[in-house]
Chains A and B, each alone.
Chain A
Amino acid sequence: MIALVNIKNSRTNLEHDQKKESEIASNRKVIHLRVYRKNPKQGKSSHFDKFEVPVQRWTTVLDALLHAKGYLDNSIAIRYSCRMASCGSCGMKINGIPRLACYTKVSEIDENIITCEPLPNFPIIRDLVTDFSDFFEHHRAMEPFIHNPNADIVDKNSLTEFIQSPKDVERYLQSSYCIKCGLCYSACPSVGTDTKFPGPQALAQAYRYFADNRDDATQSRLDIVDTKHGIWRCHFAGSCSVVCPKGVDPALGIQLLRGHLVSFSKNDKKLAESRTRSLGKI
């Protein structure tokens, strides 16, 4: 009896597998992948290579690119790592809009030709790989760390606790989700021409540390961004927030920070600052 049931089960499984395979076959289609090719070391000319890639409903653009690289042309240069929108390595312009290749399904683009280009506003290293040095330089210029003379990291005994309420955390949490993928930087019209403008990513980080009540460098943070090519070169085109794959909403952080710069927004006395003041360090 048991043997009969097993045979019946294996038959059902086989039928199920066959049905699944035919479903997959019916889902499979071929798209044309246009890939930007340029090797600055071998000259300035660039061109597009076209590949026919089989895709399924769940195929991402990164999957399609890796298929092309694996089976059709192994010289395509792509940068990628986590494949799950966590590392921010595979940013590129896909059909005219900066997106993460691993986070963009071929099916959602709904076009038969998918054009992959390097992120605009970043110098090209090769093909789809761009140089993030300037981008990180702008990020570094924002001093993306907590300034707090009370947090003594050398003498562990004098470490003090900074309790934050959920409300305190929510003020900067979303800005701290930035994965530095550079999509906002390449979508921003001001970055397009202004090389000194820090860009949405760096300015959102300036807000992130400004809004953190463990940080007590309020004024110096405002001074860093209040320059000729600083925060005022943002004109709220909102493109950064449109393309952000992590919901950081850089445009929001930038405008909120500007509210503080023009003294329109109330700057709550920070816990860190009051503590520093009480210890006579300011």
Chain B
Amino acid sequence: MKSFKEDKIYWDSNRRENREGLKAWLNPSRYGWERISYWLQRLTGVFLLIYFVGHVIETSSLVDGKDAWNAMLELTQTTWGHLFLILVIGTSTFHSANGIRLLFTETGRGLGKPGRPDYPYSPVSLNYRQKSGIWIALILAATAMLYGANILFAGE
């Protein structure tokens, strides 16, 4: 059986010609809500990973004693720091809620059944469940951000 790895045509540099490249990742328009969800899931994922690495590093100041911890808090517990944290709350909520939807769909659940396609060929996989799932994720993210803002700025 031919594997992709063994087939030398896959190493041909000409194969990159006329590829959309990063434009395909970064432009979520033209193809509907599922494409926007793909874009947001990827962006939020990268953002959260960066935040996670930063968070592990910032909390490590705990081992250097109270002064180091307070110095770190002074840097992060500011208005801009809180706004950044609100963004983290929103992105993590969206990534989680949309991730649960994707967990179902990417394992073949909630997509509908294949059948005889009839004109005008409305794809069953892009059904109301997907769209409402994306909208629920967006609404949950907005709600979490509002709640987070309320808590973060209430103490100021």
Query: A residues bordering B, Cβ < 8 Å?
Result: 96-97, 118, 120-124, 130, 134, 137, 141, 143, 170-175, 177, 186-189, 191-193, 195-196, 198, 211, 220, 223-224, 227, 229-230, 235-239, 241-249, 251-253, 255-260, 262, 264-265
Contacts and interface: CB of A to CB of B under 8 A. Distances in A.
Contact of B22 (A96, A186, A187, A193): A193
Interface of B: 1-5, 7, 9-10, 14-25, 30-32, 34-35, 37-39, 41-42, 102, 105-109, 111-119, 121-126, 130
Q: Which of A192, A239, A252, A257 has the most CB of B within 10 A?
A: A252
Nearest to A260: B108
Contacts of B117: 174, 177, 246-249
A262 B2 contact: no
Given A170-B115, A173-B114, A235-B38, A241 B10 contact: no
B2 A236 contact: no
Contacts of A265: 107-108
A177 B115 CA distance: 11
Q: Which of B18, B38, B119 has the most CB of A within 10 A?
A: B18
A223 B108 CA distance: 18
B25 A242 contact: no
A236 B7 CA distance: 27
Contacts of A193: 19-22, 24-25
Contacts of A257: 108
B22 A251 contact: no
Nearest to B125: A252
Contacts of B130: 238
Given A130-B18, A173-B115, A238 B35 contact: yes
B125 A251 contact: yes
B18 A237 contact: no
17 contacts: A123-B15, A137-B7, A141-B7, A172-B114, A174-B116, A177-B117, A192-B20, A195-B10, A195-B19, A196-B10, A220-B1, A237-B37, A238-B126, A244-B121, A247-B122, A255-B105, A264-B109
A189 B108 contact: no
Q: 7 closest A-B pairs (Cβ-Cβ)? A: A259-B108, A192-B24, A247-B117, A247-B121, A238-B34, A192-B20, A237-B38
A191 B7 CA distance: 18
A264 B107 contact: yes
Contacts of B17: 123-124
A65 B107 CA distance: 43
A121 B115 CA distance: 29
Contact of A247 (B19, B38, B118): B118
Contact of A189 (B3, B4, B25, B119): B25
Contacts of B124: 249, 252
Given A123-B15, A134-B15, A238-B125, 12 more contacts: A123-B14, A192-B22, A236-B106, A238-B126, A242-B31, A244-B123, A246-B117, A247-B119, A252-B125, A258-B106, A259-B109, A264-B108
Contacts of A220: 1
A174 B17 CA distance: 31
A122 B130 CA distance: 30
Given A239-B35, A244-B121, A196 B4 contact: yes
Nearest to A217: B1
B47 to A, nearest CB: 17
Contacts of B125: 238, 241, 249, 251-252, 255
B153 to A, nearest CB: 35
A141 B3 CA distance: 8
Given A220-B1, A242-B32, A242-B126, A258 B21 contact: no
B114 A189 contact: no
A104 to B, nearest CB: 13
A241 B114 contact: no
Q: Which of A124, A186, A191, A241 has the most CB of B within 10 A?
A: A241
A237 B121 CA distance: 18
A188 B5 CA distance: 22
B10 A236 contact: no
